[in-house]
Structures are given as structure tokens and as C-alpha cells.
Structure 1
Amino acid sequence: MKTQKLSILFLAFAMAFASCRKTDKDETEVPPKAPEAITGEITTNRTLTADRQWILDGTVFVKSPAVLTIEPGTIIRAKVGSKAALVIDKGAKIMADGTAAKPIVFTSGRDAGARNPGDWGGIILVGRATTNRTTPVQVEGGVAITYGTDKMDDDNSGVLRYVRIEYAGIGVNDSEINALTFYAVGNKTVVENVQTVYANDDAFEFFGGTVNCKNLIAYATADDDFDFDFGYNGSVQFAVAIRDPKFVDAADDGNGIECDNDKDGTDATPITQPKISNMTIIGPNNAANTAARHAYGNRWRRNAKFIFNNSIVLGSQKGGINIESDKSATSYKNGDSQFKNNIVAAYTANFLTNAATSILTAADMQTKALADGNVVFTDANISVKLNNPFSLTAPNFLPAAGSPALSGTWVATTGATAVTYRGAFGTTDWTSGWANWNAQSTAY
């Protein structure tokens, strides 16, 4: 009996000792460091660590030859009212290499529930690759940097991988800034797994350059999800755009893709021609309270050429594919542009052309599209059979059993890896674990 009592006392003492040790350990854990502001110019190598939040205050320029490294899991918030933006200048680099478990987040400085599109500017990469400009051009949004006349197509502006860019889109001095803008960015730059959230202008815009991108998400963009200009000739594979029916730029059409050679439709070379494969574009599909300026899935105009293959255009409000200029129509008709092995199921007309042109009618476009292995539907997702593509809070873009996205003959496309499906997804959801479909309620 005495031995049993001693054992019980010993056990109680051991448990109390263990509890004390745990308490001591908890009390000695290092608390998060205080937030630190980032301002002005970064002219030497700098690292933003994940052990604190960073506050982007005003326009911050990373200048050559500096490298800005950002650790996985780091959160960068924009100072409210400062029109914050991050600009990586020619010759400088950003190394924002996150992971699916620890994405790097650029977001509004406002608290959950109070965030708005345009709470800050966005991220701007300025490179030295080819454009079709012959004199220097100033970066949009009032940013005092020029670009456009270099010819270094293998230029390297760094890495953006597993990065979210939320609530961007205010101009520094004048017009809006896109969530992520590429000015003459070269093909040694790595851009993979990047999501934009409620951008107040375009989600991704490419002014010339040769950068190649994979796994892009444009979520609830005000203007265009993907915009190409000034001789861009890189590639984009595995990209998805989903629009919020109630949210669009009130003064401009919101399109899945908008593409121009330049604003005047000149013959300046190189002609803009993005190489796109396995993109999924989800329009509002005339959901309740759809705003008036939601427009087209693809808008090719002003002498743009295009390669758009192995993709899905679903629910675009005013039309699926719109070719607006005679030169763009001629390029499609004679085979200089490609539109092959796609699924088109717009809310209204699947194909449109400039009403004044005699080059190519909408009927001609459909005839050519069908001959090139495209599939056309008029019942939106009933026949396309994606699992839950129109949900804004829990979208599922994967094809269901029997979906035509899982059939067709994949068309080889410059810069693209061959797969056995159409659209951005086969049987794997590459957005899982790092994309955010509820950024408004996320506490940072």
C-alpha cells in the first residue's frame, strides 16, 4: 500500500514538472516582430523575412543591380492612402519564391471586411526584352520609368512563384496600375502560380517582351484578365480567369483577353502574338445583377495576331471570340493566327467580327473553327461539364466525367507542355492550398 502511494505521488510530481516546463517554454517563445515599412529606393540586396509583416509605403523602386528577396510565407501590406506600388526596374530582380504551403501575399493595408479594389497600386516588372517601340515609352500609372528599346530577350527580372496580389489597381499619379504588369520582361524570368484578386484595372498586362508564364489566376478583375500589347511574343499555359458578375469597370469593357499590336493598329514589328495554351476563361454567364460592361472571352483587335489553342471559353457575356480589325481577321484567315482545339460556349454569340469588314464573317469564323477541331455549344456548362466553374467562393474548374474537355486532339503550341485535356485543368487542381477565394475575410 505504501509503495502504491509513493508511485501515485511520483506520477503527480512528474506531471506537474512537465506542465511547468511546457509553461516555461511557451513563455520564452519569440513573439512576431513588429511590422517594418519599406519606402523609397532599394539599391542594394535586401531580404524581406517571414517573421514580420512588411508595410509598402508609397512607390518603392528596386534599382539595378539590387535583388529583392522575399521569403516564403511573407505578407506585404500596402499602407492605406499611400498609393503604394512595387517597381522592379531594368537590371534589378525580385526573388519572390513562395511555396504552395507558404505563398507570398501582397495585399491591402485595410482590415478584413474593409478592403476594396484599388487599395494600392500593384507590382511592376520592367525589363530589357524586345518591344515594337522605337523610342522609349513611360510606364503607365504615372511611374517615372521608361522602357521599350532594348533587345535582350533572355533578360531576367527574377522569380514570382506562389504569389498572391490582392486589391491592387490604383495609379501612382494618373491612370490605374494593373495588379501585375510586365514591361519588356525577358524569358529568363520565372512566373508560375500567381493569383490576382479583385484588381481594379487589368489582372495581368504584357507590354512587349518574351516572358513565359504558367499557372496564372485572374480572380474577379475589373477590366481585362489578360492584356497583350507592343509586340509581346511570350507564352502562357495553364491560366484561369473567373469574373464577378457584379464587378466590372464602369467605363470600359471587361474581357478575358484583350490584345492589340498598338493603339493605332500599325504594322510595327514584332507584331503582338501571345502563344496561349490550356487557358480557361469563365464569364458571368448572365448571372443575376451582371454589370453592363462584361464583354468578350477573346478580343483580338488593332492588327494583333494570336495563338490560342487547347482552351475553354465559357459564359462570356457578349461573345466568345471577337475579331475587330481587318488585319487581325486576315491573319486568322490566312493561318498566321491559330485558334485550334478549343471549347467555346459563350452566353451570347460564340463568334463575332467587325460589322464593317468583308474579310471574315462570324459564319466564316465558325466554319473555320469547326474545321480546326474546336467544339461549339450554345448551352453553356450543360455540355461543357466543368464541375462548378461559376462559384466565386469555391470554384471547381476540373472537368466532370464525360466532359469534352477530356477529349480532343491536343495541338502543339510554342512554349507549352503537351497534355491530354483542354482548358487549364485535367484531374489535378493546381490552385489548391495557395489560392484564396475569400481574401476579403482573411485576417493577416
Structure 2
Amino acid sequence: MSTLARARRGLGAHPFALDAALAAFVLVCMVAGSFTDPHGPDGATWGVRTPDPLSLVLMALGAAALVPRRRAPKAVLALTSGVSVVESVTGDPRAPVVMSAVIALYTVAATTDRPTTWRAGLLTMTVLTGAAMLSGPLPWYAQENLAVLAWTGIGATAGDAVRSRRAFVHAIRERAEKAERTREEEARRRVAEERLRIARDLHDVVAHHIALVNVQAGVAAHVMDKRPDQAKEALGHVRQASRSALDELRATVGLLRQSGDPEAPTEPAPGLHRLDELADTFRNAGLHVEVARADQGTTLPAAVDLAAYRVVQEALTNVQKHAGTGARAEVSVVRVGPDIEVTVLDDGADGTDRSDGSDGTTGPAPDAGGAGGGGHGLLGMRERVVAVRGTLTTAPRYGGGFRVHATLPVHATLPAHAILPVENRTDAAEGPV
């Protein structure tokens, strides 16, 4: 920090001391000016006149009034103007007491608004100049009288300019601080949204593949001794499911790498073009899955395509987890006007009740979040569908089973953010979004 900056900071921390020093300086200037005759034979001559005691008292009062000028600027202006008027009427020779009124007028202009400055400035100039011209010992057109008019105008103008500059600097500073806060909030919001999106993708990948691994591992353990060929086939499915899980995890976690990190292998995001492959993984795990498509080869936006794929993946995972491999599931993808409708039905073969109680029944909500329920499977489906401006319905079927129905727009106009805030989440088993 420079010496000048340190001095400004020190003076700003002690404004009363600064005003006291200013008052002393003004007093010295007024006293020195009262001993000078500007109309001497050789120009301004020092010591040819001496102020009377009343002038000295008025100068001291005018200077002392400047000490509290920051606390009560209008009162100080009134006091210094009154002292100047008294000096203009009684002083002979004239002492420059008006100097204190000019400083006070500057303070009022610098600390108030422009209308107040105009009113105070015009009133002060009129009163002081009129008193000097009408009551003083000099002719009304004397240079000293015109100087009163000029100096009061300069004081008001300078104070208004300082106030305007301070307001301008303050506005710029506020605008910069607001922009900085906005950038920080936007960065935090984007980080939170990205974390939620990655967490949702990780949940979808892990829930699906680990459920398959769990089922196939159980099959392998059951038939290991009696049917080793079937156990070997089940272990092959375990290996394939784990490899797929690792590939998708690598692609998702690769988004967390910094710009300077080595590039990791990635693959395109899954979509409905991999629907048959997805169904085969469940068929290999023992779940009977039928797929019917009437989407007429519609090409979907990447976000809508991924959302549709994840809805089917999560719904079939829930069927396998809650209804068992003995259940039958039906997947349909149909183009209906401007929308794609994705429906997953199951017959609930093991009789498990998977409603959330909204229809009067009880039982754990369907989810792939864990063996104990209470995960985020249906919640993730709901968020994905809403993020692309679609609707989702999840409800038990009459007579048993469960129904998941998603309506997704073919030409989705995505919002600026692709993830709902956490506080807007609701239980996905409540019905249509």
C-alpha cells in the first residue's frame, strides 16, 4: 500500500480530527486575509490594516462551526452564513469570514441531493452577496462583492460534482459486486445440478447391472453342483453385466475429470436403439420380457432418447427386484402425434404389493435403490421425464402388477437447467407428474 493510500485511510478513520485540522487551516487563512489590503498602491499589501476584535471573534466562530460539518451540514451552513452576514454589515475593514460559509456550502452539496444543493446554493449566494453589496462599506460593484457570488457558486458546484462522482463509483462497485455474486451463485447452481445428474446416472447404472449380477450369481450358486454348464452360462452373464456396468461407470465418472487429465474412453449415451439389447439382459436373467415398438423409426433428441431408455431400464429393474423372475413384463414404445409414449407393464407374478398407499393399499414402493426399499429409482424416472418436459404415471394395476407410463415430447424444448431442484422432488408413486 502506498503512502498516499495509507494517509487517506488514516484520515478516513478519523473524520473529526480531519475537520478540526480543516477548521484551523481556514482560521489561519481568514486571519491572514484580514491583514491584507487588496487595494494598496503596490497591489495586495500585508500589514497595512488590522481587523477589529469583533472580526476576530466572527472569524473564530466561523472556523469553529466547521468542526461538526459532517454531522449537521445544514446547521453549520446556517451558522457560518449568519456570521458572514454580520461581518459584511459591521466589519470595517472587511474580514474574509465568508470563506467558512463557502466550505459549509460545499459540505451540504456533497452530502445531500441535487435539489437541496440548488436551493441551499441559491439562498446562500443571494443572502451573502446581497448583504455584501447593500450593507458593506464598499461600492456594490466592488471586486470583493462579486467574489462572494463567485466563491459561493464554486463551493456549491464542487460539492455537487464530488457527490455525483461518489454516487457513480458506488453504483459501479455495487454492480460489480452483484455481478460477482451472480456468477458465484450460477457456478454453485451448475455444480449442484451436475452433481445431481451424475448421481442419477450412477444410480441407474449401478441399480440395473448390480441387480442382474445378483440374480445371475444366485442362479450360478444354485445350479453349481448339479448343472455346471448352466452355472457357467450364468457366470458369463455376470461377467457381461459387470463389464457393461464398468463401461458406463467409466463414461459417467469421466465427466468429473479436469481439463488437463488424460482422456478416458467413453461411449455414446444409451437410447431406444439399444432397447432390444436391454431386454436381452433381463431375459438372460430369467425375466420374461416382450417388446413392442410402433414409433415408426422416430429420431429423438439425445436427452429424450436417454430418458426413455432409463425409464424402461429402471422399470424392468423394479419388476425383477419386486416381482421376481417369474413375472412377465411388457414394454411398448408408441408414437402418438407429437409425443412418444413408453409403457412398461408387469403382472406381479409373486403377488408382491408395490403401491405407496395412495390408493388405500400398503407395501413398499417399487424401487431399485436397495433391498430394503426407500431408494431413488422412481424418483429418478420422474426427474428425467420432467426434465425433458414430459409426464410420468406410476401406479398399481387392477388385479396385480404395476404400470409405468411416460409421455415424452418428440421435439423437446429443454429448459436452461436439466435437473429439478431437490426441494421440488416428490414421491414418484403419487401418480401423474
Measured against the shorter chain, the TM-score band is: under 0.3
Structure 1 or 2, whichever has the larger Rg, is 2
TM-score (norm 1): 0.23
Question: Which structure shows the higher strand fraction?
Answer: 1
Question: Which structure shows the higher helix fraction?
Answer: 2
TM-score (norm 2): 0.24
